[in-house]
Structure 1
Amino acid sequence: MDFIYEFRNKNNRKAIVFIHGFTGDVNSTWRDFVEFLKLIPSVDSYDIFGIGYPSSYKIDIPLWSSEPSINTICSYIEKEICTRLNKYTELHFVAHSMGGLILQKLITTDTPICNDVLEKTKTICMFGTPSNGLKKAIIGYLIKKQIQEMYSGSSFIKDLRESWNELYKENTPFKFVTVAGLDDTFVPRESSLNCYKDSYHRYTVGNHTKMIRPIPSSRQSLDIVLDLIVGDNQVDISTNPGLAISEYIYYKRLIEDYYPIIDYLTDGELVNLALAFDAMGDFIKSRSILEGRFGTTFDTDLIGTLAGRYKREWLSTQSINTAIKALEHYKKAYDIAQKKNDYSQINYSGINIAFLEMVFKDDTAKAKEIAEEILKNIHGQNYNDRWRKATEAEAYLYLGEVENALTLYGEVRTLDFNQREMVSIYSQAINVCKYQNRTDVELRLDNIFAG
């Protein structure tokens, strides 16, 4: 098999090298992560590779075929690196799970090639690596050599820890971090972190597999790698109101998966597709997708999302017709939600009706009336809605209760909204303040959402 996989090779002098874990493979494990990295300008000067090796839950049958031990994998990889990566003056490694054990073995082995790799290694980042071994029972322990080697107390783990401590117990000659997933039950923190100094410890969201798959609402793992390799931790809502890196690739893939089967999508899936086009800047496509389904649906989320496309077009062009359409669609969604006692959708449509009544129709009294009704729903009804606090904050803005609104917006800023959603919350609040001529509140909102 080909142990070295090229993600990008532009004949740079520096390379980032990814190593997958047990039962993984180069492409499925690291594809998304690498796509994110490719979007970072400061990573353009790095070539990107993956190291692959056989690993699965298939039974090892010694007389027929079996997957190689970690030591054997290291021997193969050593030769491949000598052949394929020898030209690079800097190597930066990112490893997951068992891949971190392979990497540690590689840089603690005293051979000319391994010593050359060590000399060129500038950074190492390990995610969910069982450096102290595994204690949790795993199917296949008795029949899988790789699992046996990863177990706590195995000769491989004992030898690896002794070699590492002999060479690097005080300090490493490279920048080094080891990362634990907050929800990782496969590799506990005492195994991934506790055999290293506290200064090397990092944490990220997700379980053992999801910790290396950044999502729109979180890019901690990506930031850890960027900070380690290039000191580049870029996207912040206060300086870049566009897409975060992880959001870009998420929406791009959603469009690739959903658009070819658009006629078969549920209303909810269609909304997600429309929002993806919207996030990627194709506003016309986003709106037309929703308009194509509008006449045949009573889905309040779809109707409200379409209303939102009209509202934003009005804010951009000041077209009275699109403002009227936005208000009509929000009211239709509001009426349907009321019949269903769907308070989440009642409040979502209602707060946008209040916005248009005030900012478009100049009817402050009507906006306040709606805001008061929304607050009664929020304080009097028990329902789950991630937008509840943002809606409450906005309602207080309409009522002129600025301190209540700003306190809630401060709490909203800490919640799990992605970049697009947070910008939407911020922009609507700013537009209300502009209408009210409250530049003082605008400045305070800027400080909250830049924090």
Structure 2
Amino acid sequence: MSELTNAYALIIGVGDEELDTVNDAIDINEILIDEQFAGYSKENVILVTGENATRKGILDAFKLLQDKTDENSSVFLYYSGHGGFQAGEFFIQPYGMTNEMTEEEFKSAWVSAQDLKDNISVLSSKRLIFFLDCCQAEGMTKGGISLNQKENTTDLSSHAIAKSAVNKFSKANGLAQKIDNERGMSIISSCREDQQSFQIGGPNSLFTECLLEVLKGKHKNSFEDPYITIYEVTRYLQKEVPKRAKVHNLEQNPYANLQMYDDFTICYVPQKIREELALNESNQDSVTLGKGQKEVVTVYRETEEATNLLLFVHGFSGEATDTFGIIPSLLSEEPKMDGWDIKPLGYTQNVNPELGKDISAGLNDIIKIADYLTTSIKYKFDKYDRIAIVAHSLGGLVAQKSIIDLQDEFRNKISHLILLGSPNNGFNTSFLNEVSNQKFADLSSDGNFITNLRRDWQNKFNNNYPFKLKVASATEDEIVSHISCFESFNEEYCETVQGNHLSMVKPEDKNNDCYNLILSTLTNTEFYNEFTNNEEINLALGKYDVIVKKLLPKVDALDTNGLKQLIFSLEGLDRKDEALEILNEHPLATNNTDLMGLLAGRFKRSYLKSFDAKHAESALNYYSKALEIAIKEENQNQIYYHAINIAFLSIVFKNNESNMMKYAKLALETALNCRDNLWKYATIAEANMYIGDMKKAEEFYSKAAQSAGIREKISIHTNAYTGYTHLISSNNPNDEFIKFLKSNFLS
């Protein structure tokens, strides 16, 4: 039996007359050292329980752990016992503390959150998880701190509850926050604010019961490797504990921070399962040690004297460290931002949201990060007088949910809120029905979450905000419509900047409107769109008449970009004949298949967001006209480009498989004769998908994914996913090809 040779654990269980937590600690210890289960070496696990779990015993155990571990060790910490908050201090309660103690004796006997943080920070390893199964330790002294009376939180006559916490420790997640050293340590506590940690029926607390199950591999439906990782443990606890508590009309929701160093191995899958499935254990060191992981960044800039905090909250397709590109570093160099600490908040690159790192995510992920943000504002960031939030994509929903949930004293700390490309009004129902699967359903514009969020936001603020607000949409946002961004906010708060959904927050330098919008908002100065073309803004907002009035009188003098804007605006005003006349007669547009393709692509993207048939018809007309010209000119690259788009619209818009096959074959024949590049691979893949050769489709989609950037990946996935789901009349997320597309283009 092989062991996790560099995995260590410190298990602490402090029992008393009211709460038997020693049993929890012993059971965790036994499963870790059981060679049939977790795979920890016996000498690598330190167990401290009962009368040995004094302040000295606990701190000595940390010193022993420090001696044993190195920077490549993984460290499993577990504490079961009372936790408390008195006189502004969070603490855990060691053995021997009684209500006969004076306040001074009490404080000298406890282990404060700062004590724990200091001892953890000395550990050289960053691969560390701390489980806190805390009940209460509130009010245990004579010295002016009163002892609470026992509370019955449920009907014990039902025998559903064998034991419950004696008194409510209402700041368990606050204790977790105060221990967090912002070095990527993972912390999960058994319950959140205003909740208790319960014991229901069995010998263990509910939290520890579920932890034991996940360590035994009972959470897994399938096994691909012999390890159980930190994030699957966290995810199981956050899902299973609330579900079981709810059965007994109780609330218990574990808290977890989300800025983890990496998704390192906690333990082995039980040996019996490994043997049955012949799982390979040969790579255990590399998995356990997390070699090659990027350094987690939880701070961009931090100073002792700063009293203001700028938080960046990213969407779920991004990373805490790089979603916003160079914006944090540019702001750090800006003298106007002196006195501001700058930090990211959200999933680190080593943690996956529940439904993967897609452009969107499940409602559970939004609520999870919103809870984390709310708790962080209250406890982790309590030293700051002002907190500004810059949020991108679904991070904007996170920020709004958190701000609503905050109590007034903490909400009043919010000084600025900047929402960038956020689906504030959710996603259009027709969009969800056409191009999505069930995971988006909760984010429908008329779904409960969005409806309640908008109602609560309106009731709370009624467009009278106690903070500076800006809401921005990108001119080429292919994911979130301008209506969704802006509809719930007065015009004075809304700005349009250049870019698409992802590029809007990745400027190349300071000469960028999104960056300057953030800076001007934070420094309370006027913002001007200096780097975004006014016609592009009007085009994005559908102000076609403004563009036509300006550009049509000087049509002969327009460059290609101006011509494109004019034609699209004429189309938007349903003046198609004029648009076609210009295309047929203007010297820059005559026989210009590239220009027609750009126009067709814009209409296609508009169709996929709105499912307006007029946009699809316009796209088909331009692609068809361009294809006709390309065939006459024998322009192979243009032939396959326009043909594959006609094949796409034939199945998605017209539901015409015959036309789809015709144009897919044409695209395939011509693409095979062209020079290798990203779009050739994507075209060959899509064409093979349409004609039914899925093996070839996967081969060339894999080639395309290897050379595609983020924007290209989203575009290719949109075409492939939309076309495929129309072909099979299903969007089942468990379909093998759908999973293949997701893993190649959205992970």
> Which is bigger in relative contact order (C-alpha 8 A, separation at least 6)?
1
TM-score when normalising by structure 1: 0.46
State the structure with more CA Rg.
Answer: 2
**Which structure shows the bigger proportion of residues in helix conformation?**
1
